[in-house]
Structure 1
């Protein structure tokens, strides 16, 4: 089979743009951790030649050349890498790369990971863009099977009321989930109910958490960050804090919309419903 069989091909990205990919990409620049992780998981990781400065996983890909970071991204750096495909998400000014890349003939595919349905659709799109359709379909099937195993365990269980903290500052404001997104999908599929889903603001204060009276508090971060909630002024009056119903999960499992979201669902479900998960799902055939 020729390496370029099936190319050129034209795909539609999350911005509704028709993107022509002339040959199977051999030198991919992937901006943002989610896109890197999806490409690696479908078997396209070896083609990645450039990433952003904050990419940490997988470890071997994190060592690739850098094309930017918190302050923006460099078209010149991408061109120097002789990239033949750029994958990005419209955040932190990355979308400003689209027009200059188009002018110099480098196709750019923009992905928007709104929710877990979109994450799986984007995995499929990346498979088509890179010639790794089989790897993409296998990954999606594996993710769906693991999610189904969690749902089978949770069948008939009422959801647990959760305050999920995604960030904080030293001014007494804390970030949480609102609306519908991939992290709220993780919480829902893990058997949780987001107490601030209908809030107009993603910032909350301790008083708001007190009145919401969560059954469980989950911090996207380290165990040390979770333990520190008890030292916040007034937070010992929140029953979940006073009674030790506070846990943490790594940020990468809750806040990066890639293949590891499934691990986030599994681990969060085990925290919220420990009686249903006496052993890891990997040890029990669903």
Structure 2
């Protein structure tokens, strides 16, 4: 059996989609899906991985991702120790699917990767077609509140927004992640605000804080009460779970056009 260690949640989730959950022998502290991984050895926060513990687990392969800022620290240490790893660096949905194949090839699960990629592309085609029937809603995505960080045009959330019948108000920025200001967000005046604070539990996100930002109470989204606290794992982790996030968002925005998701995972349990 191939022994796998994962150093970040998106890699852990990708392994699960490939049917490799039982092959995982250790994960980082933030990996929490699927539930079985909570019983595995905890190797520490993704930016402070216990490399001695990794070596003790004798993994055949370690999964790491540059989507986590600072992951270079871990890969440099693995290079020093001669630990074999697969490194991904996704920004777009195409990257996520390519990485699925890369990990599939490295773990002998290419056929499963191809099946998932086909299902994802089919879903993308369907949602693009349904989105063409929508009057786009202008979304502001907030990844971090102070200073505010938001996805730009080079990020998967711009694609997901479009397939959900919406428009990311920072899609004109080429970067995958944009550092902005409360004033610029106010000037762009979104129709809807989506809060998905990276690494912050759902129940700890405080939308009431938005009212304290200068000029924000008069924004269109604020006046209409169009503020959504969304589950960070479905929108901020570049794994196939993003497609469940797409289904949830599309139905939230346009329930008259998009189907209601019938499962907590649209790919594993369509």
Class of the TM-score when normalised by the shorter of the 2 chains: 0.7 to 0.9
Q: 1:174 & 1:76 partners in 2: Cα distance?
A: 36
Q: CA deviation at 1:242?
A: 0.9
Q: Which has the larger radius of gyration?
A: 1
Residues 72, 92 of structure 1: 8 Å contact kept? no
* Aligned counterpart, 1:144: 121
Written as runs of structure 1 = structure 2, the 5 A alignment for 1:136-215 is 136-169=113-146, 173-199=147-173, 202-215=178-191
Q: What is the root-mean-square deviation of aligned Cα atoms in Å?
A: 2.6
- The reply on whether 1:252 has 2:239 as its aligned counterpart is no
Written as runs of structure 1 = structure 2, the 5 A alignment for 1:85-164 is 85-90=61-66, 91-98=68-75, 100-102=77-79, 104-164=81-141
Q: CA deviation at 1:252?
A: 0.9
Residues 149, 179 of structure 2: 8 Å contact kept? yes
Deviates further, 51-60 or 91-100: 91-100
Q: 2:221 & 2:237 partners in 1: Cα distance?
A: 26
Residues 43, 49 of structure 2: 8 Å contact kept? yes
What's the CA shift string for 1:163-195, capped at 9, x where partnerless?
1111213xxx42222231122222222222121
* Aligned counterpart, 1:4: none
Q: CA deviation at 1:145?
A: 2.6
Task: Give the TM-score, by structure 1 length.
Answer: 0.79
Residues 101, 114 of structure 2: 8 Å contact kept? yes
CA change 1:101–1:165 in 2 (3 A) is closer
Secondary structure of the structure 1 residue equivalent to 2:138:
strand
Task: Give the TM-score, by structure 2 length.
Answer: 0.84
CA change 1:71–1:117 in 2 (3 A) is closer
Q: CA deviation at 1:227?
A: 4.8
Q: CA deviation at 1:59?
A: 1.3
* Aligned counterpart, 1:67: 43
Residues 248, 261 of structure 2: 8 Å contact kept? no
2:207 paired residue among 222, 226, 238 = 226
* Aligned counterpart, 1:3: none
Q: 1:87 & 1:281 partners in 2: Cα distance?
A: 30
CA change 1:93–1:246 in 2 (3 A) is closer
Q: CA deviation at 1:111?
A: 0.7
Q: CA deviation at 1:204?
A: 3.4
Gaps of 5+ in 2: 264-270
Residues 160, 192 of structure 1: 8 Å contact kept? yes
Q: 2:118 & 2:59 partners in 1: Cα distance?
A: 30
2:218 paired residue among 231, 237, 246 = 237
Q: For this pair of structures, how many residues does the alignment match? A: 256
* Aligned counterpart, 1:56: 32
* Aligned counterpart, 2:268: none
CA change 1:227–1:140 in 2 (3 A) is farther
CA change 1:247–1:103 in 2 (3 A) is closer
Q: CA deviation at 1:101?
A: 3.3
